[in-house]
A = this chain, B = another copy of it.
Amino acid sequence: MKIESLDFFYLSMPQVLDVGDGSQDALLVRARATGGNEGWGECEASPLASIAALVAPMSHSACKGVQDSVLGQTLETPEDIRRIGALVRRNSFDLLQADHTLSGVDIALWDLLARKRQVPVWNLLGYDTAHRKCAYASQLFGDTPEQTYAAAKQVAAWGFVAAKFGWGPYGLGSVEADAEQVRAAREGLGPGAILLIDAGTVWGEDVSAAAARLPALCDAQVKWIEEPFISGALDAYRQLRALCPDGMTTAAGEGCHNEQMARHLIDYGHVGYIQIDAGRIGGLAAAKQIADYAKAKGVRYVNHTFTSHLALSASLQPYAGRAVDLLCEYPIDPKPLAWELTRDHIRPDGVCHIDFPESPGLGVVPDPDVIRKYLVETEIVVRGKVLYRTPEI
């Protein structure tokens, strides 16, 4: 096969709110290859900037639009996808946004190749078996402890045995205010469930601010404190990890846009869980490399995802065969755009385990009618030439 086209679709809710909910817009990638083959991927990224990185005119030999390294390439084997990814990184390493753009492209190419071979993506990635995961209910903190308590009680009633609360007011107010939020989450969830807290990088590189929250996290038997710092704060991560009591650890990695960053969080940041978003790190090839690296280093791998079930499925593939890495992020309150986008959904069973889709590829396909419903018409014109216009769906 030769890769014939890369079509990017920018979708958005009619109104985007100034909150940490990443499901308010989406950037879909449709890859087509000769012989009528098609695959879909999704970037977890700013749609407009990522489209620009796809079509950007060449600035010099290491600053090219992503499509220059993909269109017309041969695609027959997983090795071809890795080769194309390496080519993008080489030809676009001075185009910062290229990593996010590549992510959706890489995912679409795996989906395309797996659908052609009628196998699941995880099989192409090298696994013989996919182990079901334990879905943790992922959501934002309420504005008040009462709201958080109610939300926690709700997910417990739905049968979730693990839940994460993040962003919202957490870390922005006093240590005591944060403690109340964490206590509310634990009380609502009940004593046996796994509780995870996501600080959304709120403390920058400030170890003492994070350390001040540890006693409350410890009291509530929180399993991990996620993203207390920005992605590159390796020293801060290492210091906080050393302060964590037994049974609690750190988690980070969603901001990694290449394999090196994730390895640094493991090697120098000493994170307990490495959280990879396939829609940011460069796609499934890169994410699988980190799953293998984490295994070698004795670090737990877990997906990061916060948009559609296409992105959810993609995020699960890189560690499908790792039985020991049981937890998986499962956003429970996505915007209608993210939920409606695929007809099929990955649904937790009675004990909140999820199975991998059985259909080939990623096993879930975007619904063209829903794409049309949320489509954001976009056009980029340079020197009178249309470099990008929202494609036909």
Residues on A lying within 8 angstroms of B by beta carbon are 10, 12, 16-22, 24-25, 44-49, 51-53, 55-63, 89, 93-100, 167, 200-201, 205, 230-235, 255, 257-258, 260-261, 264, 267-268, 376-384, 387
Contact = CB atoms under 8 A, between A and B. Distances in A.
A53 to B, nearest CB: 5
A49 B2 CA distance: 27
A371 B16 CA distance: 36
30 contacts: A16-B58, A19-B60, A19-B61, A25-B59, A44-B94, A45-B95, A45-B96, A46-B96, A47-B59, A48-B387, A49-B49, A51-B52, A52-B52, A52-B97, A89-B230, A93-B255, A95-B97, A96-B99, A205-B260, A230-B260, A231-B260, A232-B258, A233-B260, A376-B382, A376-B383, A377-B383, A378-B380, A378-B383, A379-B381, A381-B381
B258 A93 contact: no
Contacts of A377: 381-384
B61 A18 contact: yes
A21 B49 CA distance: 24
Given A60-B22, A62-B20, A96-B99, A264 B234 contact: yes
Copies of this chain, complex-wide, total 2
A374 to B, nearest CB: 12
A59 B264 contact: no
Across the A-B interface, the 4 shortest Cβ-Cβ residue pairs: A232-B260, A52-B52, A97-B97, A48-B56
**Residue of A19, A94, A377 ringed by the most chain B CB atoms within 10 A:** A94
Q: Is the interface of A mostly helix, strand, loop or mixed?
A: loop
A94 to B, nearest CB: 7
A106 to B, nearest CB: 15
B376 A379 contact: no
Nearest to A384: B377
B62 A200 contact: yes
Nearest to A24: B60
Given A49-B49, A377-B384, A378-B383, 11 more contacts: A16-B58, A19-B61, A20-B62, A24-B60, A45-B59, A45-B94, A46-B95, A93-B230, A230-B260, A232-B261, A264-B264
A305 to B, nearest CB: 13
A59 B16 contact: yes
A57 to B, nearest CB: 6
Contact of A48 (B96, B167, B261, B380): B380
A48 to B, nearest CB: 4
